[in-house]
Amino acid sequence: MSSSSDQKLAHVALLPSAGMGHLTPFLRLAALLTARNVQVTFITPHPTVSLTESQALSGFFASFPQVKQKQFHLLPLEENSVDPFFYQMQLIKSSCHLLSPLLSALTPSLSVFITDMTLASTVIPITQAISLPNYVLFTSSAKMMTLFLSYPTLAGSKALDDLDETDVIKIRNVELMPKSLLPPPLLQKSNNFFKNSFIEDGRKVTESCGILLNTFVSFELESLRKINDGQVLERPPSVVAIGPFPPCNSEKSQLQLTWLDDQPAGSVLYVSFGSRTALARDQIRELGEGLIKSGSRFVWMVKDKKVDKEDSEELEEVIGHELMERVKEKGLIVKDWLNQDGILSHRAVGGFLSHCGWNSVMEAAWHGVRILAWPQNGDQKINADIVERIGLGTWVKSWGWSGEMLVKGAEIAERIRESMGNESLRIQALGIKEDARKAVGFGGSSDKGLTELISMWKHF
């Protein structure tokens, strides 16, 4: 016979951070928890930065009426020049004192609160003050998390300054990664938003009840082991890999991709740099040249501005009339939001030229699509390194960070041909897909991790 606390439903509130790269995994986690009979309250910072975020939210609440929405009205701050997504993170943090009355008023009372890692330093003290167990969803890789946990110690240390680009960073004698993979703001001597919050959040996250990761054990065994064995931090919070988060029902595309239906299986390369990375105009045009020269079929998501509301120029103005005409013969070019999952799951798609945002990596793994990595910013080189080591794809390291050089069309074409013609990569990617499905399937590592968490939360 089950006890009455087994019958009790856990009530979980979720608070995402700015941008689709953070919102999407939170929505997927909300859907996963709902499917497991957890009561979910989703807190939505208002207004959002991008139109896509507000559309994703309304689509989600229409599909999941059982999830309660609580709007969190952000207080205005003096405008500053930081990236609009970072600015939004600052807004959320500076409005965070409004969270305690909001959380305390929820009924039934909350079992736990799950917040984004970029908000950890502000949210954790608030939850501690009202004795509410706080978990953090880290929306990047476990490998990035080894850096997140160790960077507060590394920052400003001579050990880091003295290393050459290719030297390996060590923490407590454990090898972390070559310095060349680090997000550039973390190597700057001067203060910047990314570095400051990375230090503050990385420090405070150790006081959370646990960290959830959208990754899976067989994909990131080594990093997860390093963290959980106490090699990175002596007493780390419990870290549980519960991914990849399957896409949820509300993510259907408006766009009909009938063109894709007519293409041979595995023949199409999908090209996208995520929700917030716009390549420079000259690089966009070289990429177009490369796509044509590669001879491959492709679907190309062109992004000209960081924030979609400002992305108002016609596609033809961005890539030029002549290139536009030639590109159309071989592929599909889109400047609106495309549901990436709908593309990666299509039988015609066999490759993904990706910036390696972590959600994109997990989605490629989920669908078994090989990656040609072209990291641009932030955690993306760390993620590209994982992709290459596990055999999900390849990475041309000489292409550097965004804006460091202009990669020419001929070079891009050659790398696309190599990637699309690589039969062993195709097979490896399918093997990774199987592993990903096993991890979240009944009794798999991620499934078990989430089941154990939920049963613990019922007793909180």
Q: Quick one: angle between helices 142-154 and 380-390, nearest 10? A: 130
Q: Looking at residues 223 to 242 of the shown chain, list those that interact with ligand UDP (rule: CB under 6 A).
A: none
Q: Which of 53, 201, 304, 308 binds ligand UDP (CB under 6 A)?
A: 201
Number of chain residues interacting with ligand UDP (CB under 6 A): 34
Task: Give Dmax (Cα) for the chain.
Answer: 72
The label of the residue with tokens 């990656």 reads 371
Instruction: By CB under 6 A, tell whether 67 contacts ligand UDP.
Output: no
Candidates 116, 308, 311, 385; catalytic one:
116
User: 60 or 198, CB closer to ligand UDP?
Assistant: 198
**Selected range binding ligand UDP among 90-98, 196-204, 229-237, 430-438, rule: CB under 6 A:** 196-204
Residue 162 designated active-site:
no
- DSSP codes joined into one string, 84-134: HHHHHHHHHHHTGGGHHHHHHT-SSPPSEEEEEGGGHHHHHHHHHHTT--E
User: 334 or 456, CB closer to ligand UDP?
Assistant: 334
Q: What share of the chain is helix, strand, coil (3-state, %, to 5)?
A: 50, 15, 35
Instruction: By CB under 6 A, tell whether 60 contacts ligand UDP.
Output: no
For 265, left (φ over 0), alpha (ψ -120 to 50), or beta?
Answer: beta
User: 231 or 272, CB closer to ligand UDP?
Assistant: 272
Pairing of strands 331-334, 297-301: parallel
**Selected range binding ligand UDP among 36-44, 279-287, 353-361, 427-435, rule: CB under 6 A:** 353-361
Closest contact distance (angstroms) between CB of 106 and ligand UDP is 26
Instruction: By CB under 6 A, tell whether 445 contacts ligand UDP.
Output: no
Q: Looking at residues 140 to 169 of the shown chain, list those that interact with ligand UDP (rule: CB under 6 A).
A: 140, 144, 148
Residue type, 340: Q
Candidates 6, 11, 22, 311; catalytic one:
22
Closest contact distance (angstroms) between CB of 274 and ligand UDP is 3
Instruction: By CB under 6 A, tell whether 243 contacts ligand UDP.
Output: no
Q: Which of 276, 285, 297, 415 binds ligand UDP (CB under 6 A)?
A: 276
User: 225 or 252, CB closer to ligand UDP?
Assistant: 252
Closest contact distance (angstroms) between CB of 207 and ligand UDP is 16
φ and ψ at 186, to 5 degrees? Answer: -75, -10
**Selected range binding ligand UDP among 165-173, 339-347, 423-431, 443-451, rule: CB under 6 A:** 339-347
Residue 211 CB neighbours (<10 A): 24
Instruction: By CB under 6 A, tell whether 360 contacts ligand UDP.
Output: yes
**Selected range binding ligand UDP among 20-28, 72-80, 95-103, 155-163, rule: CB under 6 A:** 20-28
Closest contact distance (angstroms) between CB of 334 and ligand UDP is 8
Closest contact distance (angstroms) between CB of 3 and ligand UDP is 39
Q: Which of 48, 88, 118, 122 binds ligand UDP (CB under 6 A)?
A: 118
User: 352 or 457, CB closer to ligand UDP?
Assistant: 352
E strands, 118-267, are 134-138, 168-171, 174-178, 210-213, 238-241
- DSSP codes joined into one string, 182-198: S-GGGG-SS--HHHHHH
φ and ψ at 5, to 5 degrees? Answer: -70, -25
Residue 22 designated active-site:
yes
Instruction: By CB under 6 A, tell whether 409 contacts ligand UDP.
Output: no
Closest contact distance (angstroms) between CB of 247 and ligand UDP is 8
Instruction: By CB under 6 A, tell whether 298 contacts ligand UDP.
Output: no
Residue 256 CB neighbours (<10 A): 8
C-alpha to C-alpha distance for 400 and 371, rounded to whole angstroms: 17
Q: Which of 220, 304, 308, 363 binds ligand UDP (CB under 6 A)?
A: 363
C-alpha to C-alpha distance for 291 and 289, rounded to whole angstroms: 5
Per-residue buried b or exposed e for 35-45, using 16+ beta carbons within 10 Å of the residue's own CB? eeebbbbbbbb
- As a three-state string, the secondary structure of 411-429 is HHHHHHHHHHCCHHHHHHH
Instruction: By CB under 6 A, tell whether 308 contacts ligand UDP.
Output: no
φ and ψ at 28, to 5 degrees? Answer: -65, -40
Contacting residues toward ligand UDP, per CB under 6 A:
19-21, 24, 89, 117-118, 139-140, 144, 148, 194, 197-198, 201, 272, 274-277, 301, 337-341, 357-360, 363, 377-379
Active-site residue set: 22, 116
